[in-house]
Amino acid sequence: MLWFLLLFVGTPLVELYFLVKIGTVIGALPTILLSLFTAALGGYLVREQGLSVLMRVRALLDQGAMPALEMLDGAILLLCGFSLLLPGFVTDAVGFVLLIPSLRHWLIRRYIAIQPAPPVNPSSTSTSYRVIEADYRREDDPPL
């Protein structure tokens, strides 16, 4: 419970502190423009990486593999995009750091146990069936 209090009360206070400090150094309008620029740049980068993750998910699903790492990667990208859209420089810094794919993958492997699932074998006796369409005729049938 204390973590939520620190997160939801402490983060806006820290953001406000840095916004005021930076605003006194570079001015109010440049601070607002810089905050809008980081939000726009972050949104663009999250969109590009999100589409890349989506393509990897689709490729793994087409191969019959479970895209667990990619799904968690997409969830972290969602949080990353949210933090980049919030006004403030601390959340922007966290968002830009989480845009580094190798860091995201390290965090996922470090804090979340993922067991790789073996790919689905279409020739096995499972509930999924493989359909092969073909024409055939028996050699001992009379010709048509």
pLDDT digits (tens, 9 = 90+) for 22-68: 999 999 999 999 999 999 999 999 999 999 999 999 999 999 888 88
Please report whether residue 128 resides in a domain: no
Please report whether residue 123 resides in a domain: no
Please report whether residue 124 resides in a domain: no
Q: What is the mean pLDDT of the chain?
A: 85
Residue 33 has a pLDDT of: 94
C-alpha span between 19 and 70 (Å, rounded): 34
For the ranges 48-57, 88-97, 123-132, which has the lowest average pLDDT?
Answer: 123-132
32: Cβ contacts below 8 Å, ≥ 6 apart: none
Please report whether residue 125 resides in a domain: no
Which residue segment(s) compose the domain that 95 sits in? 9-111
Please report whether residue 121 resides in a domain: no
Helix 89-98 and helix 28-63: axis angle, to 10°? 30
User: How many separate domains does the chain show?
Assistant: 1
Q: Where are the alpha helices (DSSP H) in 64-138?
A: 68-85, 89-98, 101-111
SS3 assignment, position 126: coil
Contact yes or no for 65/122 (Cβ under 8 A): no
Please report whether residue 144 resides in a domain: no
Please report whether residue 139 resides in a domain: no
Residue 137 has a pLDDT of: 73
pTM: 0.69
